[in-house]
Structure 1
Amino acid sequence: MMKGPIYSRIVKEGGAAVPAVGARQLSDQGEYPLGLLCCGRRSGTRGALAFAHAGNLVLTTSVLLPDLLQAYVLELGIVVHSVVIRLSMGASDNVCTIRPLVAALCFHQFFEGIGLGGCILQADYEKKMKAIMVFFFSVTTPFGIALGICLSNVYRENSPTALVVVGILNAVSAGLLNYMALVDLLASDFMAEKLQNDMKLQTISYVAVVLGAGGMSVMAIWA
């Protein structure tokens, strides 16, 4: 039995567009699921569903709302984080600080992009929405740097106002990213059947997580 709210796309039946609705609504209308035709990462919670109604077969592609919200929340956390950090970088006039910071941010941005890209693909957005999310991820870094350069004459990194505002924004983005990493991303991956049944793969995965966290902590020295 499927759990959670469902987001469904419009599908085609006999050349005509048919609005696809969630499993609960289908049950209320006397339509019964014939079974999952294909499953996503969370077995039994997403995939293509076949429903029989009045002798017709309707194919509904359903995606859990948590998958959609996951990508939105991760994007929000990354965008806020990127603008705040790059603002400080753009306002800085210390060349010795900027050079290692650029290298660290490029490395950091690369892996953020991989994580966000995986969430976007899993959520199975339309091409337009994918393009919009990729666009915002791509422009936040140069936007933050440009904003920092424009405000370099008035922005004082150590002023009480700047410290409070930046601290609040950093706390919000850190909370979002930590929640996404621990609850939605790592928990889902490590609870997968493939990983649970393979001790070698579990060991490699745990080592990779520790090395990744350690690497990001080391980069924080320059950030």
Structure 2
Amino acid sequence: MSDLNCGSGGGATTYAQLRIASIFIVGVGSMGGAMFPVLAKRTNWLHVPKAAFDFAKYFGSGVIIATAFIHLLSPAISELSSPCLSPAWLDYPYPLALALLSIFSIFIVELVAFRWGTAKLMALGVKHDVHGHGHGLGAHAAHGPEGGIPDGDSSSEKMEKDLESAHDHKHLDFSAAGQIIGVFILEFGVLLHSILIGLTLAVDPSFKILFVVIVFHQTFEGLGIGTRLASLQLPPKYNYVAICGALLYGITTPLGIAVGLGVQSTYNPGSTTASIVSGVLDSLSAGILLYTGLVELLAHEFIFNKEMISGSNGRVAYALSCMLLGCGIMALLGRWA
């Protein structure tokens, strides 16, 4: 306990040039992992087969779930059990309570938003089911009648089609908003984590090991975020959302490293203040990623996915293997960071 430093000024200054270079190296890994799926989905010059997207999607789901448990919840427990903190922090499992608070907060927000959105859609005459498939009134007619209809009341048909089109556009807007909110929640939890990772890397004494692990960590996590962004089914006017989300993820950890290097002489990741802030943010982020990973990704991709329920055993086994591989690799990285 003699070398315990609970105040400011505990950052390591070794490997100064490599720490500066890590801003760009980690940035390339993060940006590459997040941007590649988005660009591959939206450009013609990158021909990526659907099987590769499926692998990245399921792999990324495993990465996100393992990140919640191994890279967020576990460090939060350690940070809020620091000897620099008051013994009162040990009287209650605050990290788990904060994660629980985060899970139910996200759940309630999504429930309220879903109920409000569904009520709005019903008022507009658009049906909406829990799996996100909406159909405007007379949607089948929009694709043309099965039998021939004489060219009678053309103005009446035009009005009906215009009404259906308006309904469809309203549904697209609500659907797009729901998807954007879901991805924003996921990315918010990841970005908080990425900032803290960057700050830690900039001042941690065990820099070399942590540096290598974080490059892989951020690349894999970026792949998980990127595939979710790429799979968004949004109207053309919202295409910028996926690109902005990938760019934001790509710059967050380098920004954290740069800030950490800027306050290297005064920032001590083991200080009382840093432990409390990191522990609280990691706990809240863990809850966000747990809810998103288990409900939005795992349940919706497997339990509520018709392709998985009625698909072949081989397809289901492949998807599960990809998910478990991503989870296993990210959990293994927790051995060093």
- Normalising by structure 2, we get a TM-score of 0.50
Cα distance in 2 for residues equivalent to 1:47 and 1:110: 35
Verify the 8 A CA contact 1:67 1:119 in the aligned structure 2.
no
Q: Relative to structure 2, which stretch is displaced further, 169-178 or 107-116?
A: 107-116
Cα distance in 2 for residues equivalent to 1:83 and 1:175: 17
1:121-150 deviations in Å (ceiling 9; x for gaps): 425261333333222111101100011111
Instruction: Give, in angstroms, the shift of residue 190 of structure 1.
Output: 0.6
| Overall identity of the aligned pairs, in % | 26
Helix, strand or coil at the partner of 2:232 = helix
Show the counterpart of 2:224: 115
Identify the match of residue 194 of structure 1 among 297, 307, 310. Answer: 307
Q: Determine which structure has the larger strand proportion and give its number.
A: 1
Cα distance in 2 for residues equivalent to 1:140 and 1:106: 13
Unaligned 5+ segments in structure 2 are: 1-113, 140-154
Q: Relative to structure 2, which stretch is displaced further, 70-79 or 98-107?
A: 98-107
Instruction: Give, in angstroms, the shift of residue 183 of structure 1.
Output: 0.7
Instruction: Give, in angstroms, the shift of residue 48 of structure 1.
Output: 6.8
Helix, strand or coil at the partner of 2:318 = helix
Identify the match of residue 212 of structure 2 among 78, 83, 103. Answer: 103
Residue 50 to residue 116, structure 1, CA distance change in 2 (3 Å): farther
Unaligned 5+ segments in structure 1 are: 8-21, 28-32
Q: How many residue pairs end up in the alignment?
A: 194
Instruction: Give, in angstroms, the shift of residue 158 of structure 1.
Output: 1.7
Verify the 8 A CA contact 2:203 2:261 in the aligned structure 1.
yes
Cα distance in 1 for residues equivalent to 2:332 and 2:197: 16
The within-5 A match list for 1:1-223 is 4-6=115-117, 23-27=121-125, 42=131, 45-46=132-133, 49=136, 55-58=159-162, 59=165, 60-61=168-169, 62=172, 63=175, 65-92=177-204, 94=205, 97-120=206-229, 121-122=231-232, 124=234, 126-191=238-303, 192-197=305-310, 198-223=312-337
Instruction: Give, in angstroms, the shift of residue 207 of structure 1.
Output: 2.9
Helix, strand or coil at the partner of 1:122 = coil
Residue 83 to residue 123, structure 1, CA distance change in 2 (3 Å): farther
Deviation beyond 3 Å, 4+ runs, structure 1: 3-7, 46-54
RMSD (Å), alpha carbons: 3.1
Cα distance in 1 for residues equivalent to 2:321 and 2:243: 33
Cα distance in 1 for residues equivalent to 2:247 and 2:262: 22
* Matching residue's letter, 1:116: I
Instruction: Give, in angstroms, the shift of residue 217 of structure 1.
Output: 1.4
* Matching residue's letter, 1:23: L
Find the structure with the greater CA-based Rg.
2
Instruction: Give, in angstroms, the shift of residue 180 of structure 1.
Output: 0.8
Verify the 8 A CA contact 2:176 2:234 in the aligned structure 1.
no
